[in-house]
Amino acid sequence: MKKKYHLVCALGLTTLFATPSSFAAPGEADLMRQAKISKAQAEKIALTKVPQGKVRGAELENERHALVWSFDIGKSGSRNITEVLVNAKTGKIISVSTETPVDQAKETAADQATSKH
């Protein structure tokens, strides 16, 4: 009887300490299957909002209640980054925002804090 109890406790602890993202977050391959717009197509769309910009980072993610391609675009001579979100199903631009170096540092710190949990 004790062995069964310990097994149940071990399984319960595994469930208790598993991160919510391990249950809810779809994998990258799953997100790619859902996307109707390719990364290359979305990049071209995003770059229309930042003439002469260069993509510094890109990822496919669920944000603002939609599957989006998120692009961080920089311009020569500026330390600001323009983030452009392109809907991965329709190709429409969802948002365009500018992040200063201070904003970028805050975002990095928040991401690191989240990844530790």
pLDDT at 107: 84
- Name the amino acid, one letter, at 7: L
Spell 63-85 as b/e; 16+ CB within 10 A means b. Answer: eeeebbbbbbbbeeeeeebbbbb
Segment 1-18, tens digit of pLDDT: 444 444 444 444 444 444
Nearest to 64 by CA among 47, 36, 89: 89
**What is the pTM (predicted TM-score) of this model?**
0.71
Protein fold of 26-116: Nuclear Transport Factor 2; Chain: A, (3.10.450)
Segment 52-97, tens digit of pLDDT: 999 999 999 999 789 999 999 999 999 999 999 999 999 999 999 9
Query: H or E stretch including 50?
Result: none
